[in-house]
Amino acid sequence: MSKKWILGLLFAALLALAACGNDEEAKKEGQDKDQKQEQKAEEGQEGQEGGEGEQAKMPEPDLKDTPEVVAEVNGEEIKKEEFESAYKQQFQQAAMQAQMSGQELDQDQLKQQMVESLVGQELLIQEANNRGYEATQEEKDKILEDLAEQNQLGSKDEFMAALEEQGMSKEEIDSQLELQVKMDQLIEEEAGDLEPSEEELKQAYEQMKAQQEQMGGEGQGEVPPYEEMKPQLEEQVKMQKEGEEAQKLMKSLREEADVKVHI
């Protein structure tokens, strides 16, 4: 497991957002939606006619040429083990998306995206440490509680127990929680007030409705009224803004940093 496991959740999401956030790609995805149903039907017929051997298989991550040190950021090494752990996690998502769209997964491109994400992550970690932020136990507990809720576990203690079952020590978990608090403080200081406006919330609501209509509303029913969705939209828009600020800061830090990429 990556030593930066909590931060990996954020940057995996940012990486996916960066990979598919292009407007043209989004439009193309919408245009391809109608073709997917036909493609699935054709694939189903081919599978029946040709047997299981002709059905598309999930690719395997190609990591045979990964160097021992994937990158260096201001003298700090990003090692093979950390890269491979993060890559395998992202690879699963990317492979599923590629299979659904009928496109071939470009592993070389995915590797470059992943190493750039890890470089950016390391730059933010170094900056957070350089600014001397402090993390209270209350702040660390809040992150645990949020993660427990996201993973549908009853309490932070249950979440801690689940992590320990995966081989993480309490000391390692506490260290990463402290780092996450510092990262949050860094983004908040850089971004300032991130509270979304009413206009931004309504725009997000309309986008949500449009996406569901584009997907045919399969098994979803109608989108709940705006007022009912407002708390969720506020959180969604705020997280998006935080992600954008993180990307800006990473770009700025990268311009001044000594970065060597070996993959």
For 183-216, write each residue's pLDDT tens digit: 889 988 988 878 899 999 999 999 988 888 877 6
Q: Name 17's Cβ contacts closer than 8 Å, sequence gap at least 6.
A: 243
Q: Name 29's Cβ contacts closer than 8 Å, sequence gap at least 6.
A: 20, 101
Q: Cα–Cα distance between 124 and 220 in angstroms, integer?
A: 38
Give the orientation angle of helix 137-150 with respect to helix 170-191, to 10 degrees.
Answer: 100
Q: Return the residue matching tokens 């850089």.
A: 190
Would you state the pLDDT for residue 35?
53
Q: What are phi and psi of 261, to 5 degrees?
A: -110, 130
- 12 close to 90: Cβ distance less than 8 angstroms: yes
The secondary element (H helix, E strand) that includes residue 22 is none
Would you state the pLDDT for residue 220?
55
Q: Cα–Cα distance between 190 and 127 in angstroms, integer?
A: 11
Would you state the pLDDT for residue 219?
52
Would you state the pLDDT for residue 216?
64
- 14 close to 119: Cβ distance less than 8 angstroms: no
Would you state the pLDDT for residue 147?
80
Give the orientation angle of helix 5-20 with respect to helix 80-101, to 10 degrees.
Answer: 40
Beta-carbon neighbour count of residue 35 at 10 Å? 11
Would you state the pLDDT for residue 47?
47
Would you state the pLDDT for residue 233?
93
Q: Cα–Cα distance between 77 and 248 in angstroms, integer?
A: 23
Q: Name 167's Cβ contacts closer than 8 Å, sequence gap at least 6.
A: 1
pTM as predicted: 0.71
- 87 close to 114: Cβ distance less than 8 angstroms: yes
| DSSP class of 246 | H
Would you state the pLDDT for residue 32?
53
Which residues in the chain show pLDDT less than 50? 1-28, 30, 33-34, 37, 41, 44-55
Residues in the chain: 263
Would you state the pLDDT for residue 198?
94
